[in-house]
Each structure stands twice: as structure tokens, then as C-alpha cells.
Structure 1
Amino acid sequence: MVEQAKQMLNDKILPFWEGLKDDTYGGFYGWLDYELNLDKEAVKGCILNSRILWFFSNAYLVLHDKTLLPFAEHAYKFLKQYCMDKEHGGVYWSLNYDGTVFDSTKHTYNQAFAIYALSSYYDATKEEEALNIAYDLVEIIESKCRDDVGYLEAFTYNFMPENNDKLSENGVIAEKTMNTLLHVFEAYTELYRVTSDEKLADKLRFIMEVFEKQVFNEELRRQEVFFDKNMNSIIDLHSYGHDIETAWLIDRGCEVLGDAALTERMHRITAVLEDQIYNVAYVEHSLLNECEKGEVNKNRVWWVQAEAVVGFLNAYEKSNEKRYMEAAKDILNYITTKVVDKREGSEWYWQLTENHEPDTEKPIVEPWKCPYHNGRMCFEIIRRNNDVA
């Protein structure tokens, strides 16, 4: 698996994203359609840029290749100069190709990914400015985007609440989401990892308590996805990819905190999520997408496959159950043979249909399609090589 991951990074993912660097206007190009037509004037999502900054920072940390640092620096400069609102604070939702503001929405999810990226960039470069910006964003989230129950979602440019259409799906508009909560947790975990700041530790414990008491549905052995303002679930939806991703990200948070009692409590939950996903979603060498009101979506989405590999590896390391290792290897082989686009100048398909054929309606690059999930899969396999070699 380690050699597969290194080959995937070096031969496919890294060259592809290096080639999308915009040397004219900064950042990285925001759209490549299925036919591999590049739109140099497409909108640039700030989430996309943050995830690319995270990706190149971690590529350097894992591979120790100094030629990767200029790509991280390029993304950092774009984030700092264009994605940040210098007047009202926070990160915009998206920009025009030339760096002017396209969508001035301030979303908690977006602030979180910038923190995640800046923390890794600091780890790679020891650039204190990046750490300071990350802390500024933590302050914004905690002062403007949180209530007593959990984390709020969407705001105008000056942080007035607005409709959360960007992180709502399946016919509902959610006032709170499992997805945003998860990625605030992920961001704070990474910032805590590089700083050991006990104030962040308290926030991580708060989020895990919300997961434990309000997001995790013990009876159905899953997480709930979309909520009202009081964290009451508003739809019958099981997101397979998010459950397996959450399992290992919660475990990573427990690992960096080093709280034995908390780890024991949370491992009980993450073990249930792993077992349930293995039993209901691991089908035909891959992971199904989701189940809404009893109806299963059988598409194979790129990020769901990547998170399944990491999630099952993590489950194996905890339990030593061979079924999880076998599943991780099986899905990685599926990715290599089916999900990776073999065409020159491409990367991974966005998704496959239930017949395991590429969905030609989906682009190769768009504001959500980035090297975060598949790159992270490779990094995690390499970092865990003592267990998976």
C-alpha cells in the first residue's frame, strides 16, 4: 500500500495540481471539465485554495521534497492577499479568476479549512504570520459563528446570519450541520497539534461532547447530518463517507489530546461507526455514497473512496481485525483501477455510476474537487507505514 500511495502522489496527483498553478493572477485554476478543457477564467473557490495550501504543505512534510514548498507558498500568498477580507475579517466563499470577490459569504466551514491549511503551512515553514492568521480565524469562529449549542453556518460579509444553502442538500436547509462541526474539529485538531494550546483542547472536548450527545445516533449506529438550531435532526440521511471520515478524525483528535478517559469514550463510538459502514456500505470493492429515507445512492464518489481507505486502516490499527485491512487494500485497488483517470493531464474522476463507469457529467476540477481527500489518503498510508507495509 505504501508504494501504491507514493506512486499515486508522485505520478498522478502532484504533477496534476502543480500544472494548475496560475502564475498570472495567483492561486490555482478553478475548473477543468470532463473533457479536460481548462477554464482559466473560472471562479476560484477559497475552499479549493485552502485545501491546495494544506495539500502542498503536507506533501512537503511527508515527502521532504523542497521543490514542493514554492507551491505551498504560492497558495499561501493567494489566501493572504485575496481570500481574506481585510476590513471585516474572515475568508470569503469564492473569488473571480483575477482575485476580486465573487461571493462574499463568510461560512464557518470556510474559516475552518483556512485554519487547517495555515496550521500545516506553519508546520512546514515555521512562518509565524500564518499561525497568527489562523488564531485570528479561531477568534472569528468562536466570537461570531458559535452559540451555546454548537457552530453556526453561513453569514454575510459582515457576519450577519444568512441562509445556509451552501452546506445544505437533500431538499433541506440546515441551521447546523455535522459536516461543518466535523471540519471545525479537524481544523482545531491540526492547530492544537502544532501549538499544544490548551484553549484549543477545551474546544476540541466541547465538539466531541456535541458529537457524542447530539450527532451520534446510537440506535441507528450512525451520525445525523442536518439539524435545526437546537441540533435536532431534520432528515433521515446516512452519509457513509462522512461516518467513516469522522471515525478516524475523531480518533486523531483523541490522539493529539492524549486524554485516556476521553479516548475510551470516543473509541466506543468510532468503533460502532466503522463496523456499521463496513456492514452496510462496503459493497463491490468500494463504498456506496449515502442512504436517504431507506433509498441507497450507489454512486462511487471520489472522496468517499479515499476516506474509506483511511478509515478502515485506522479501524485495523485500533482493533487488529483483518477485515478492515483487507477492505482498505481492496478499496485502494478499486481506486487505482477504476477511480483514477488514466488520461494524460487528468487526475481522479469525480464519481463513478453504480455500474462503476465514469460519470461524464462531472468535472475533474471544481470548487469542491481538489487534492485534499485523495492526497490525504496517500499521506496517511505513508505515515502509517509501520502498520500497512
Structure 2
Amino acid sequence: MSFCATQDTASDVGKTTSMTSLDHYRNQYRAALLDDCIPFWEKHCPDRDYGGYFTCLDRDGTVYDTEKFMWMQWRIVWMFSELCSKLGTRTEWLDIARLGYDFLTTHGKDDKGRYYFALSREGRPTMAPYSVYSDCFAVMGAAAYYRVSGDEAARREALRAYNSYLSREHRPKGEWTKELEGRPPMRKLGFYMMKANLLAVLEECLSDPTFRAEALATVRYVLGTFWNPDMKVMFEFVRADGSFDLESMQGRHLTPGHALEAMWFIMNSAYRAGETQLVERAADVVRATLDFGWDPEYGGIYYFMDALGKPHVELQWNMKLWWVHNEALVATAMAHQLTGREEFA
């Protein structure tokens, strides 16, 4: 979603100085995207023989593994479609998006319509469709491709994949679920934050405002269920009844990058609906997440955390991952533009 770069808001008044001071960052990121990142992927990722994309690429573009992972495949469809939508259609970009869309819709689903986690280079399934997020990214990619191609089959596929995603709400991993009846069921932030984003994508790409009411309901559900206003943290899991579980490692588990990502999804939907109070609430969560998740000694945002500061089960909990900081950049830039609060500049 890129409305912040293309639409004015009421909060723009009086921010000329601060936005001007951020111009060099905008120019830096734009140049990195269009002069470095996109040309690299244009050149090295398309598989012209079988379709889809090579994604295990060394810095020189050398392919070191040909397996095709669904999350990344559909994200590339989305990315090149979005480039066409936001920056103007280029034949080479649209061709790359089509290369992935055709490959994935031909080879990517099991007999129940669920997208596999991974395929071989030729399109044979290599990993079962245990991840609901394969369907999630299919929604985004197909919807974005429909907007720039006008292909009605892509519109239908976006809606079909969305319904598949919804059908897996209570058991996202299906028959590949490891947990047994001895572990109480939990609701996961990831499912609902992505649902909010999918509804916004469908509204925008399919030009269908009927998705807005459900998007706002989902936004309110995320803020009202996973955000703990007393502890000022966004929990990754809550019990089935919506209560917080501070007795288990799973219940105390926090993912600051997810919280930041969820908040820019929420600000996006709230802004589109004119819900300024929701925008402010989400901005407050961004601030609190940065305060809690920031490493005060070395800087950067932790990958995983425990709500009570207990030892974390994940050995990589204190790593500083690239994607987490990208989400922080998006969230703070959006919060700054939509609220005018200088703390986000």
C-alpha cells in the first residue's frame, strides 16, 4: 500500500519544514529501489524456461537453489504489479508479474485449492500447504495483478484465495498442526493483522468499497484483543476467550516487527475510512513498541521478546533482522505523515 506517497492528508498542514528535512531519505530509498533493487531482480529472478522466479540469489545474481517458495513467489507478482500501478506500466514489469501469476495458478494448489508452501523449479509440489500465509500472499498477488492486467481470472483467483484463507481461521495449519488437545487453543495476531491488510488490498485493487466495513471491524478486533494497554505491548497470542496468558512462553511471546507491521496496516485502513482516532491509537502502539523492543545498549529492534522479560525459547530472539527494521521505517513514516507527530520523524 502506498497511499502515503500519493495522497495529501489534513495533517500535512504545518509540516513543510519537517517533511523537507526528510526529503533526502525519500530520495535515498527511491534511488535504492529503482536504481539498485528492482534492476537486480528484473535481471536475475525470472525463470524464463519454467515460469515463476528464482529467489535464492547470491549478491552477483547466481542461483544457489531453484526451489520456489510460495510466499516469495506471490510477493514478486505483487511487487511488479504494484510498480506498474504506482509508477506506470512497463512491459517488462507486467511480463514478469504474468510469468509468476501463470506459473503459480497452474501448479501452486492442492486438490482443495490451498497453495503449497513450495514447488520445484518445474512446478512439482515439494512442501505441503501447511501455511495459511501461502493463500494470503496469493490474494495480494492476484489482486494486484488484476488491477494492472484487467484479467478477470485474476480477480476471481484473488477472491477464491481470500475465502480459502478465511476458512482456515481456527486451524490455520490444517492436518499439519502439531499441537494436540493438551495445549489450549490460541488466537494469533498474524492471522488477523493479515486479514486486515488483505481487505484493504481487495478494496483498493478490485475497486470494491464493500470490503471497508469488515476491514474496520478487523482493525478494531486487533487493537481490542492483542494490545495490552496496561503492559503497553502487542501480544502475538491470546487465549481463545481473548484473555492474556502470562503463565506460558507461548502466551508471553512478543514479535515487535509484527506489531509494527500490524500498526501500519491499521493506519492504512483507518486513514482510508477517515477514522482519525484509530490512526492515533495505532501510532501510540508504534511508539510503545519501539520503546519496548529497542535495544538500549547497541540499538536496533529485537526479533522476539518475552512480555515479562523471561528467557525466550527461540535462540535467535536477540537478532536484529532486516525485515523488522523495514516495518519500523514504514510504520514511523506513515505515523509521521498521518499524525504530524515529530517523534516519528
TM-score by length of 1: 0.70
SS in 2 for 1:16: helix
SS in 1 for 2:254: strand
Taking the aligned partners of 2:184 and 2:199, their CA distance within structure 1 comes to 26
Question: Is the 2:226–2:238 contact (alpha carbons within 8 Å) kept by the matching residues of 1?
Answer: no
Question: Is the 1:40–1:97 contact (alpha carbons within 8 Å) kept by the matching residues of 2?
Answer: no
Structure 1 position 45, deviation (Å): 1.0
Moved more, 226-235 or 247-256: 226-235
The code of the aligned residue for 2:82 comes to: N
Query: Which residue in 1 is equivalent to 2:168?
Result: 145
Taking the aligned partners of 1:122 and 1:106, their CA distance within structure 2 comes to 26
Question: Is the 2:226–2:236 contact (alpha carbons within 8 Å) kept by the matching residues of 1?
Answer: yes
Alignment of 1:368-383 (within 5 A): none
Identify the match of residue 82 of structure 2 among 43, 48, 58: 58
Structure 1 position 307, deviation (Å): 0.9
Assess, with a 3 A threshold, how the Cα gap between structure 1 residues 102 and 228 changes in structure 2: closer, same or farther: farther
Query: Which residue in 1 is equivalent to 2:302?
Result: 288
Question: Is the 1:72–1:121 contact (alpha carbons within 8 Å) kept by the matching residues of 2?
Answer: yes
Matched, 1:84 2:109: yes
Query: Which residue in 1 is equivalent to 2:69?
Result: 45
Question: Is the 2:261–2:331 contact (alpha carbons within 8 Å) kept by the matching residues of 1?
Answer: yes
Structure 1 position 2, deviation (Å): 2.4
Assess, with a 3 A threshold, how the Cα gap between structure 1 residues 282 and 323 changes in structure 2: closer, same or farther: farther
Identify the match of residue 197 of structure 1 among 187, 194, 208: 208
Query: Which residue in 1 is equivalent to 2:37?
Result: 13
Query: Which residue in 1 is equivalent to 2:173?
Result: 154
Matched, 1:206 2:217: yes
Query: Which residue in 2 is equivalent to 1:311?
Result: 331
Question: Is the 1:109–1:184 contact (alpha carbons within 8 Å) kept by the matching residues of 2?
Answer: no
Assess, with a 3 A threshold, how the Cα gap between structure 1 residues 134 and 56 changes in structure 2: closer, same or farther: same
Structure 1 position 287, deviation (Å): 3.1
Alignment of 1:1-389 (within 5 A): 1-18=25-42, 19-32=44-57, 38-41=63-66, 43-66=67-90, 67-85=92-110, 87-142=111-166, 144-146=167-169, 152-155=171-174, 161-163=175-177, 175-197=186-208, 199-232=210-243, 233=245, 234-256=250-272, 258-260=273-275, 263-264=276-277, 266-282=278-294, 286-292=300-306, 293-294=308-309, 297-325=317-345
SS in 2 for 1:89: coil
Assess, with a 3 A threshold, how the Cα gap between structure 1 residues 22 and 195 changes in structure 2: closer, same or farther: closer
Q: Percent identity?
A: 19
Taking the aligned partners of 1:79 and 1:237, their CA distance within structure 2 comes to 34
TM-score by length of 2: 0.78
Unaligned residue ranges in structure 1 (runs of 5+): 156-160, 166-171, 326-389
Taking the aligned partners of 2:59 and 2:145, their CA distance within structure 1 comes to 31
Query: Which residue in 1 is equivalent to 2:16?
Result: none
The code of the aligned residue for 2:322 comes to: W
Assess, with a 3 A threshold, how the Cα gap between structure 1 residues 314 and 298 changes in structure 2: closer, same or farther: same
Question: Is the 1:152–1:176 contact (alpha carbons within 8 Å) kept by the matching residues of 2?
Answer: no
Taking the aligned partners of 1:173 and 1:111, their CA distance within structure 2 comes to 25
Structure 1 position 240, deviation (Å): 1.5
Assess, with a 3 A threshold, how the Cα gap between structure 1 residues 208 and 58 changes in structure 2: closer, same or farther: same
Query: Which residue in 2 is equivalent to 1:375?
Result: none
Question: Is the 2:57–2:64 contact (alpha carbons within 8 Å) kept by the matching residues of 1?
Answer: yes
SS in 2 for 1:39: strand
Assess, with a 3 A threshold, how the Cα gap between structure 1 residues 243 and 107 changes in structure 2: closer, same or farther: same
Q: Deviations along 1:208-246, whole A, 9 cap, x unmatched? A: 232132211111212111345444544212322111111
Taking the aligned partners of 1:198 and 1:36, their CA distance within structure 2 comes to 41
Moved more, 224-233 or 68-77: 224-233
Structure 1 position 84, deviation (Å): 2.8
Q: Deviations along 1:167-193, whole A, 9 cap, x unmatched? A: xxxxx9975321122112211210012
Query: Which residue in 1 is equivalent to 2:13?
Result: none
Question: Is the 1:115–1:188 contact (alpha carbons within 8 Å) kept by the matching residues of 2?
Answer: no
Assess, with a 3 A threshold, how the Cα gap between structure 1 residues 110 and 229 changes in structure 2: closer, same or farther: farther
Assess, with a 3 A threshold, how the Cα gap between structure 1 residues 226 and 245 changes in structure 2: closer, same or farther: same
The code of the aligned residue for 1:55 comes to: M
The code of the aligned residue for 1:82 comes to: H
CA RMSD of aligned residues (A): 2.7
